[in-house]
Amino acid sequence: MKALSQKRRHPLAAIALLLMGLLVTGGLYAVATTVNQAKADTTTYSASDVEEGGKLFAANCATCHGMGASGSQSGPSLVGVGAAAVDFQVGTGRMPMQMNGPQAQQKPAQFNEEQTKKLAAYVASLGPGPAIPEAGVLDEKGDAAKGGELFRTNCAMCHNAAAAGGALTRGKFAPALAGVSGQHIYEAMVTGPQNMPVFNDANISPEGKRDIITFLKQIESNGSPGGADLGALGPVSEGLFVWIAGLGVIIAFTIWLTSRTS
């Protein structure tokens, strides 16, 4: 103790202290991140997660989905929908549902990540179902061109070739995909929320899904190479634009050109 107190005014003491601090925080950070990664990769949840999730479920979801998520007249059974379905529906704010309508609308998420994870743990414990995807398929490093082909064949008829969204029957719609996280896109494909069909691994392999996410993220970050994209809605917005803005400006000029006579 005495040696330490004697050396604390040593010229190198501050540097040693700084190094020690860096090592400790760096080490802790490394441990913490590996812990996080390990958790994301595994589909097993702790018993306390499941228990807490059950409580959250009973308080927030059971009114419609029934106790034990067995379903009621107002909501379907959630046995076997898997953690991916919960993470998508709750994580994008679609559940708990704000109002009845043709389909659940997106809104700011009502539960934080921790609570969502617990709810997912609870629902996953009820029966086997699609798990939350591993980070490897979400790295956006797939083949964008192949993903584009898959997207045009499987997704564009509802979501539009530029992923700008589109109408379905009776007030339902396929949303635009800009700003949707890769994880949610993947989960939507494997669980088929709302009116979306399920694209299981036999339909589109995990590798193909990775390509699709890569494609979507790439066209999103590319922006519109030809100028403002007018909503990427195709000829309707182009037609509106030429009639209103194009002809409008030209009419203003014609009025100006003929205003000084008559």
Name the residues that contact other proteins, by CB under 8 A. 102, 144-145, 148-149, 152-153, 156-162, 164-171, 173-174, 215, 218-219, 222, 224-230, 232-239, 241-243, 245-247, 249-251, 253-255, 257-258, 261-262
Nearest distance in Å: CB 252, other proteins: 9
Residue closer to other proteins (CB basis): 134 or 143 = 143
| d(C-alpha 41, C-alpha 200), whole Å | 19
The DSSP secondary structure of 161-194, one letter per residue, reads TTS--EE-GGG-EEPP-TT--HHHHHHHHHH--T
Nearest distance in Å: CB 39, other proteins: 33
Nearest distance in Å: CB 90, other proteins: 23
Residue closer to other proteins (CB basis): 134 or 207 = 207
Residue closer to other proteins (CB basis): 40 or 233 = 233
The residue with tokens 């919960």 is 86
Residue 243 per-residue DSSP state: I
Nearest distance in Å: CB 228, other proteins: 5
Instruction: Check the CA dihedral 187-204-195-220 and report its sign.
Output: positive
Q: Which candidate, 150, 143, 213, places its Cα nearest to that of 184?
A: 213
What residues are paired with 166 via a beta bridge? Answer: 174
Residue closer to other proteins (CB basis): 73 or 169 = 169
Residue closer to other proteins (CB basis): 81 or 155 = 155
Nearest distance in Å: CB 244, other proteins: 10
| d(C-alpha 164, C-alpha 192), whole Å | 19
Phi, psi of 94 (to 5 degrees): -70, -35
CB 185 within 8 A of CB 138: no
Nearest distance in Å: CB 207, other proteins: 16
